Chain A
Amino acid sequence: MHIPDGYLSPITCVATYAAVMPFWVVALRRLKRVLHTRMVPLLAVFSAFSFVVMMFNLPLPGGTSGHAVGVAIASIVLGKWAAMVAISIALLIQALFFGDGGITTFAANCLNMAVAGSFVASWTFASIAGKTRAGEARRLFAAGLAGYLALNVSALLTAVEFGIQPIFFHDAAGTPLYAPYGLSVAVPAMMIGHLAVAGLAELVLTAGLFAYLLRTQSDALTCAAMVEVSAPACGTKPIARLWYGLGAVVAATPLGLLAEGTAWGEWSVQDFIDDASRLEILRVSDGTALPDAVPAGLRRLSEAWTAPWADYAPSFLHNLSLGYVLSAIVGVGLTLTAWYLIARLLRAVTAARPIERL
């Protein structure tokens, strides 16, 4: 995944330097503010660790093996800003000393692996692990998935950077001047190997290393909060983002009114009586003949329960869009209340049993 010099055009390289620079500046400022004198030794040692861990060849299920980057475990334990800088330094040393990755493409490699990888790993872990306790399997799963997703997003970005080269940078005869394969070749070629092998290596390393740190009750885990300077508490920001997303979806519910007709299979008794509706049902059912009368079972069960707000249209509101939005709000409220009650019930049940804590 380390892009060598000459595979990306100078314009792409400049664009990636411009894209990654603000992240480096913000990361260094935040780390300096929080860590102060600790920053230099901490980043130096963990850059060296990232470099060394990239040397580990991990045996994978299926008899193959692969190298991990270690970006996810660094993001989970150190926080995304410290991980971003540490991985960037490790990549620079790799490029300078071992020719692994180019100088002009250094920013592209950092953007793909250090910046995108750190953010994806950090968000994935925070979203799935939430506020679960240290020993729970969900946290281990979250760590492994964070590693897998982080590496594959990095690979996808790399593939896109390769794939856009022949589109924008070719000579008058159409000869590609840099990476010669378009997106249709670059994306599958990069992703197959990363989805099947390299991603698994990152998953194994992240989950295995995280399990080791939990098992040994490492101080590194408890001190990690000192380094993470972005989120006030684990799981708070992702939940806030979920609330915003939920609000946007609720506001967008009137879009459902744009669809015409009735959803297939959701016909009412009235639809079986009304001639226009019968014709519509016949059309969408590939001409399969309808029964002449309303099926007896359908008629009987349809009377068993009468919805207070049928078709998301409360009788006291004459505006369909407003009725949709209000129905969405009430629906979300009822769902959350139900889950809150279930959670309370489960908490009461588990509190009655002793829990083994790490």
Chain B
Amino acid sequence: MFVGRLLQGLATAAQLAEEAEALNARQGLLQGLDARVKLVSMLVLIVAGVQTHSSSALASLLVMAFVLALVSRLYTMPVLRRLWVGILLVAAVMALPALFLVPGGIAGRLPMIGWSITEPGLRSAAFLFGRAAASSTFSMSLLATTPWPHVLKAMRCLGVPAVLVAVLGMAQRYIFLLLQTAMELVEARRSRILGPLGAPGRRHMATSAAGALFERSFFLACEVHLAMVSRGYRGDVRLLDDFHMRRRDWLAACFVVVVALIASIGVGR
């Protein structure tokens, strides 16, 4: 049971990462835009959503995020579905108690139990949920429609140090490898278990698997280093940059700036 859950968790993570990578090959509005425009737009829209104090501006941004996900054909994407489920769960934990705990005028009462829902609580919970949902949908929509190497190149164009971009790119690749290794480790152990494991046995198994993975990671790092050096790596990272802005990219950039400005005007209302 425990081993099955552990395996399932690892497999789901691997599957989600693979699906996210496969999705950027689909045809859609966001898939056709320049990676740099998408990255900057994502940051601008997220900041606009976080800083706005206007509920109507926030609602508009949320609708825009959903429409972008829709026209980019991301609605079938399991990552996005899981993201929204996650947002709802976090909102349930963080935002729902605010309905009753934030003091203020009473907006209504819960039937049966009679708990009072306050007006500031309602507004506060709506802000919390709206901001989290809009920001997550923007970031996921824009990144899921961009091949990972393009995201890295766009980061480099925006001034992120080359070393960090290289580490980020390699780390993403090794996540797949280590997830696969972890699954094989747990699967191998499962095939050698005859009966149910007690709690100490399960702990021992999980920490041993993590330990084995740690050792393999260490050796992998040494091997990768040797391979890189043998191919001429001397500590300086160089990345190619061949992006070209087209008319639709400029249009998208202008549109995002206008949206962000409108959301900013709503600040304080």
Contacts and interface: CB of A to CB of B under 8 A. Distances in A.
A98 interface: yes
A104 B213 CA distance: 32
Contacts of B233: 37, 40
B168 A93 contact: yes
Contacts of A199: none
Interface string A60-71: 110100000010
Interface residues of B, number: 93
A173 B120 contact: yes
Interface string A40-53: 11111111110111
Nearest to A88: B164
Given A10-B51, A59-B199, A99-B136, A213 B214 contact: yes
Contacts of A216: 211, 215
Interface in A337-355: none
A38 B127 CA distance: 45
Interface in B59-83: 79, 82-83
Interface size range on A against B: 35 or more
Contact of A52 (B175, B203, B208): B175
A267 interface: no
Given A37-B233, A171-B53, A73 B214 contact: yes
B175 A104 contact: no
A233 B49 CA distance: 48
Interface in A1-54: 4-7, 9-10, 13, 28, 32, 36-49, 51-53
A53 B228 contact: no
A61 B202 CA distance: 11
Interface stretch (B28-36, B176-184, B253-261): B176-184
Interface stretch (B98-106, B109-117, B188-196, B242-250): B98-106
B251 to A, nearest CB: 24
A59 B151 CA distance: 37
B252 interface: no
Given A49-B213, A213-B211, A7 B132 contact: yes
A43 B228 CA distance: 14
Given A6-B127, A48-B217, A59 B182 contact: no
B168 A92 contact: yes
A181 interface: yes
B239 to A, nearest CB: 12
Contacts of B163: 28, 32, 39-40
Interface in A85-121: 85, 89-90, 92-93, 95-100, 102-104
A220 B215 contact: yes
A279 interface: no
Nearest to A208: B207
Contact of B178 (A48, A102, A171, A174): A48
Contacts of A52: 10, 13, 175, 178-179, 182, 213
A53 B2 CA distance: 16
B108 interface: no
Given A97-B17, A213-B211, A37 B229 contact: yes
Interface string A205-237: 101110111001011100100000000000000
Nearest to B182: A52
Contacts of A36: 235
Nearest to A102: B135
B217 A175 contact: no
Nearest to B121: A180
Interface string B131-146: 1101110011001000
B26 interface: no
A150 interface: no
A212 B171 contact: no
Given A4-B135, A47-B167, A205-B210, 12 more contacts: A38-B221, A40-B170, A43-B167, A47-B171, A48-B217, A49-B214, A57-B9, A63-B199, A90-B171, A103-B43, A179-B128, A219-B215
- Nearest 6 pairs between A and B by C-beta? A6-B131, A208-B207, A212-B211, A5-B135, A44-B170, A48-B174
